[in-house]
């Protein structure tokens, strides 16, 4: 059984009028069944209002399903007596770094979680140290959180969750308010947790570049999961993503534009390195084909160039 | 109606043990009808600079002029400046407060002491410019979607009919489509009304597609000031100060280093596609001619 198992999970936001009677119902999550294996790095994409955050809030029992169920580490979140266990298994980091730091000193803030769990003092300090080291913030342990940058604050927040030794950590748009440097440092910390500590990471984001390292990507729309797969599989569907108000990384978009113009590139190129490599291959094959012996080799590789939009290439080559 | 900063320096805590020089000798002119991207990482001084533009803070040294007049001289009409230079802060939707969208947008021009018809005319026009349909005018601003809220908040500033509109990270937290919509609307707005727009951002990709001029700040200085393609040529220097050039520019630099004859000045996906095709294309004719579709294309 996976660490997170949801089956036919639905959630309704109910709008109440002044008398407290239900006025309208909005279904934010609609019949979602998913399973996450321990140690996976999962990304959830979706436009504003697609239901990603509502789904995420089910993972640590901030919300419980209106219909269906969700089990975290084998425990049903809908059962009152499981709530504390669930919150210990699945920690959550939110978007705004300023809303989730309470300590006066970094190490105090990180120690807050384990202290509340009744961890012995000595062990709290051990956990604080190891968590701060894991996110690269140990040097700042005596600093005031107020004076940290946004990216640093987010890493402290992650350390705070980590000190509770969760099996799974949910990051709800942790980088939305950060600059490129801060974004990189937070994503790096999240990846390290996953790689080194084998913590299951669930990353919710709008930034397509941040999901390319994920093991699995879920795309949500109108509360449903509408696409899922590896980043490469998902990002191969450029048009479909655009229809869902999403984007693909600029590199992927460029590779797609080149493909449409007739270049025989593979689907779902995700990084600049990959594109460079593929273009070099093309050039080499081309050059080889220019030589007498090369033609056969290149032909055998089968460059079946896409027939669509043959005109597109003219603009570029004419 | 140009706004001009001459040798502006600003020091936080000047009379303390730890003065911080947030702006250092900034010279900048914002002429009429220009779309400017102001870029810098956190702490580079962008926000401090922006607050100087409508006199929210006073420079420690140097002067700021609006139409040639020092905005800090005695008797300068500050109120007029504040309505001429409209600031839209980060997450402007947090500043929505009225009972309905229309009243919220009316708040600014109302405070200018304009007659009621004029106020309503302006509010209508501002809401139209940001694409909020009339059906939403009577709704509570808190019931709008994230993108709508933000646009309503921008309309509140637009209703003041500023000559210069300054937006601090207007796309933060929006989904990609929302980003495109807001930026597209701002570009359209600039075209339609002829106002100047200053877009503060950390995202080069966002900015590259829309602005005519990019001002890059680092440690209180202006590092670069020019057309996007000129600025992006300084890939290494930009990376040193924690900024990244658009991914396409990065790829073109890589390809160029690998010996492809690409034009590294391209800043958008279509431009990059064209230059890559061209670089490959030159070599693709001839030998490829016999080989199906690509060969045929190459002959054109």
CA–CA separation, B248 and B245 (whole Å): 8
B76 part of a folded domain: yes
> Are B38 and B185 in a shared domain?
yes
Sign of CA dihedral B67, B73, B79, B85: positive
pLDDT digits (tens, 9 = 90+) for A51-70: 998 999 999 899 999 999 99
Tokens 């320096």, residue located? B9
B297 part of a folded domain: no
Q: Are B228 and B207 in contact (CB under 8 A)?
A: yes
CA–CA separation, B268 and A238 (whole Å): 17
Strand partners, B64: B5
CA–CA separation, B203 and B245 (whole Å): 9
> Are B116 and B219 in a shared domain?
yes
What's the half-sphere exposure (Cβ side, CA atoms, 13 Å) at A287? 7
Q: Beginning with the edge strand found earlier in the chain, give each strand of the sheet holding B3-12 in spatial order.
A: B20-30, B3-12, B61-66, B69-70
The full set of domains in chain A, from first to last, is 4-247 (3.40.50.300), 251-317 (no CATH)
pLDDT over threshold 50, residue A309:
no
pLDDT over threshold 90, residue A224:
yes
Per-residue tokens: A12: 């309704």
* Share above pLDDT 70 across residues of chain A, in percent, rounded to a whole number: 91
User: Between the CA of residue B19 and those of A12, B11, B22, what are the distances in Å?
Assistant: 53, 6, 9
Interchain pair B283, A290: CB under 8 A:
yes
B296 part of a folded domain: no
CA–CA separation, B122 and B32 (whole Å): 21
**Residue A148 — pLDDT band, cuts 50, 70, 90?**
confident
B130 part of a folded domain: yes
Per-residue tokens: B220: 């209180």
> Are B186 and B261 in a shared domain?
no
- Which pLDDT value is given to residue A290? 67
Strand partners, A16: A22
Interchain pair A316, B277: CB under 8 A:
yes
DSSP for A108-165, written as a single string: HHHHHHHHHTT--HHHHHHHHHHHHHHTT-GGGTTS-GGGS-HHHHHHHHHHHHHTT-
Q: Are B244 and B251 in contact (CB under 8 A)?
A: no
Please count the structural domains in chain B.
2
Helix A106-116 to helix A150-162 angle, to the nearest 10 degrees?
A: 30
Lowest mean pLDDT among A145-149, A220-224, B159-163: A145-149
CATH number, position B197: 3.40.50.300
* Share above pLDDT 90 across residues of chain A, in percent, rounded to a whole number: 47
Model ipTM value: 0.71
Q: How many residues does the structure list for chain B? A: 300
**Domain region containing B181:** 3-234
User: Between the CA of residue A211 and those of A156, A219, A240, what are the distances in Å?
Assistant: 22, 11, 17
Tokens 């200018």, residue located? B112
B279 part of a folded domain: yes
Q: Which of B210, B234, B258 is the last residue of a domain?
A: B234
What's the half-sphere exposure (Cβ side, CA atoms, 13 Å) at A116? 14
> Are B185 and B261 in a shared domain?
no
CA–CA separation, A199 and A203 (whole Å): 12
Helix B146-158 to helix B116-129 angle, to the nearest 10 degrees?
A: 140
Phi, psi of B64 (to 5 degrees): -125, 130
> Are B27 and B171 in a shared domain?
yes
- Which pLDDT value is given to residue A311? 41
- Which pLDDT value is given to residue A291? 56
Contacts of B300 in chain A (CB under 8 A): 313-314, 317-318
> Are B204 and B250 in a shared domain?
no
Q: State whether residue A287 sits within 8 Å of chain B by CB.
A: yes
**Residue A312 — pLDDT band, cuts 50, 70, 90?**
very low
Helix ranges (H only) for B130-268 are 146-158, 176-193, 204-208, 228-232, 235-240, 247-257
- Which pLDDT value is given to residue A135? 87
Q: Is B7 helix (H, G, I), strand (E, B) or coil?
A: strand
Q: State whether residue A210 sits within 8 Å of chain B by CB.
A: no
Interchain pair B247, A299: CB under 8 A:
no
Q: Is B176 exposed, middle or buried (0-12, 13-18, 19+ CB in 10 A)?
A: buried
CA–CA separation, B238 and B267 (whole Å): 15
Closest CA to A60 of A44, A47, A42, A77: A77
> Are B40 and B161 in a shared domain?
yes
Interchain pair A262, B297: CB under 8 A:
yes
Sign of CA dihedral B132, B136, B138, B141: negative
Residues of A (146-205) whose Cβ lies below 8 Å from B: 149-150, 173, 176-182
Contacts of A99 in chain B (CB under 8 A): none
Helix ranges (H only) for chain A are 52-59, 83-89, 106-116, 121-134, 150-162, 180-192, 231-235, 238-243, 250-260, 272-290, 294-300, 312-317
- The listed range with the strongest mean pLDDT (A268-272, A307-311, B97-101) is B97-101
How many other C-beta atoms are found inside a 10 Å radius of the C-beta of residue B200? 25
Spell out the residues 6+ positions from residue A315 whose beta carbon is closer than 8 angstroms to its own: B274
> Are B24 and B114 in a shared domain?
yes
Per-residue pLDDT of chain B (300 residues; tens, 9 = 90+): 689 999 999 998 888 888 889 999 999 999 999 999 999 887 788 889 999 998 999 999 999 999 999 999 998 998 889 889 999 988 888 889 899 999 999 999 998 889 999 999 999 999 998 889 999 999 999 888 778 898 999 999 999 999 999 999 888 878 888 888 888 888 988 998 899 999 998 878 778 888 999 999 999 999 999 999 899 889 889 888 888 888 888 899 999 998 888 988 888 888 899 999 988 874 444 333 333 333 333 333
* Interface test mutation site (partner B, options A256, A279, A282, A301, max chain B beta carbons within 10 A): A279
Please give the DSSP secondary-structure letter assigned to residue B288: G
> Are B167 and B250 in a shared domain?
no
Which of residues A48 and A160 earns the better pLDDT score? A160
Phi, psi of B66 (to 5 degrees): -120, 115
B298 part of a folded domain: no
CA–CA separation, A44 and A231 (whole Å): 11
B114 part of a folded domain: yes
Strand partners, B4: B29, B65
Lowest mean pLDDT among A31-40, A65-74, A88-97, A172-181: A172-181
pLDDT digits (tens, 9 = 90+) for A151-193: 888 899 999 998 999 999 999 988 887 777 788 888 988 998 8
Q: State whether residue A272 sits within 8 Å of chain B by CB.
A: yes
Q: Which of B234, B260, B294 is the last residue of a domain?
A: B234
CA–CA separation, B85 and B190 (whole Å): 14
> Are B278 and B161 in a shared domain?
no
Q: State whether residue A276 sits within 8 Å of chain B by CB.
A: yes
CA A122, chain centre distance (Å)? 34
> Are B189 and B276 in a shared domain?
no
Distance from CA of B93 to the nearest CA of A (A): 15
Q: Which of B174, B208, B234 is the last residue of a domain?
A: B234
> Are B127 and B275 in a shared domain?
no
Residue of B nearest to A294 (CA): B287
- Which pLDDT value is given to residue A68? 94
pLDDT digits (tens, 9 = 90+) for A200-221: 999 998 888 889 889 999 999 9
Contacts of A290 in chain B (CB under 8 A): 283, 286-287
B240 part of a folded domain: no
Sign of CA dihedral B172, B177, B180, B183: negative
């Amino acid at each position: 059984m996976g660490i997170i198992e949801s089956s036919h999970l639905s959630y309704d936001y109910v709008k109440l009028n002044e008398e407290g009677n239900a006025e309208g119902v909005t279904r934010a999550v609609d019949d979602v069944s998913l399973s996450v294996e321990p140690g996976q790095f999962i990304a959830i994409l979706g436009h504003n209002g697609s239901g990603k955050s509502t789904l995420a809030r089910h993972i640590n029992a901030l919300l419980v399903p209106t219909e269906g169920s969700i089990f975290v580490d084998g425990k049903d979140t809908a059962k009152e007596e499981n709530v504390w266990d669930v919150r210990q298994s699945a920690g959550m980091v939110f978007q705004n770094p300023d809303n989730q730091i309470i300590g006066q000193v970094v190490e105090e803030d990180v120690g807050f979680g384990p202290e509340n769990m009744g961890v012995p003092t000595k062990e709290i300090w051990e956990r604080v140290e190891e968590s701060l080291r894991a996110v690269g913030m140990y040097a700042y342990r005596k600093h005031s959180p107020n004076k940290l940058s946004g990216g640093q604050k987010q890493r402290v927040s992650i350390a705070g969750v980590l000190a509770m030794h969760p099996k799974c950590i949910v990051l709800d748009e942790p980088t939305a308010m950060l600059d490129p440097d801060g974004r990189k440092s937070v994503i790096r910390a999240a990846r390290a947790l996953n790689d080194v500590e084998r913590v299951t990471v669930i990353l919710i984001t709008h930034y397509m570049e941040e999901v390319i390292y994920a093991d699995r990507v879920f795309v949500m729309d109108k509360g449903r999961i509408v696409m899922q797969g590896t980043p490469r599989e998902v990002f191969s569907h450029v048009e479909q993503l655009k229809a869902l108000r999403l984007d693909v990384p600029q590199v992927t978009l460029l590779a797609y534009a080149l493909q449409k113009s007739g270049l025989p590139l593979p689907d779902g190129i995700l990084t600049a390195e990959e594109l460079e490599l593929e273009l070099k291959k093309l050039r080499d094959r081309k050059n080889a084909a220019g030589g007498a012996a090369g033609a056969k080799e290149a032909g055998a590789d089968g460059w079946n160039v896409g027939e669509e939009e043959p005109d597109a290439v003219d603009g570029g080559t004419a | 109606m140009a706004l001009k900063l001459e040798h502006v320096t600003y020091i936080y805590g000047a009379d303390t043990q730890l003065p911080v020089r947030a702006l250092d000798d900034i010279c900048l002119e914002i002429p009429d009808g220009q779309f400017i991207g102001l870029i810098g990482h956190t702490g580079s001084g962008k926000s401090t600079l922006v607050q100087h533009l409508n006199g929210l803070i006073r420079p420690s040294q140097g002067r700021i002029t609006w139409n040639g007049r020092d905005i800090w001289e005695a008797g300068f009409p500050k109120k007029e400046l504040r309505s001429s230079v409209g600031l839209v802060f980060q997450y402007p939707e947090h500043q929505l407060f009225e009972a309905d969208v229309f009243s919220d947008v009316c708040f600014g021009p109302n405070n200018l002491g304009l007659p009621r018809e004029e106020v309503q005319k302006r509010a209508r026009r501002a809401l139209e410019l940001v694409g909020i349909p009339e059906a939403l005018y009577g709704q509570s601003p808190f019931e709008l979607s994230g993108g709508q809220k933000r646009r309503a908040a921008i309309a509140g500033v637009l209703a003041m009919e500023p000559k210069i509109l300054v937006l601090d990270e207007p796309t933060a937290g929006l989904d990609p489509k929302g980003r495109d919509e807001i930026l597209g609307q701002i570009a359209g707005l600039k075209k339609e009304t002829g106002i100047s727009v200053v877009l503060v951002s950390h995202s080069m990709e966002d900015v590259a597609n829309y602005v005519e001029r990019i001002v890059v700040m680092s440690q209180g200085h202006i590092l670069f000031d020019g057309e996007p393609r000129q600025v992006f040529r300084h890939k290494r220097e930009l990376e040193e100060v924690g900024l990244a050039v658009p991914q396409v520019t990065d790829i073109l630099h890589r390809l160029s280093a690998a010996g492809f004859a690409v034009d590294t000045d391209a800043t958008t996906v279509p431009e990059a596609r064209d230059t890559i095709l061209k670089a490959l294309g030159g070599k693709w004719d001839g030998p490829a001619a016999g080989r199906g579709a690509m060969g045929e294309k190459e002959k054109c």
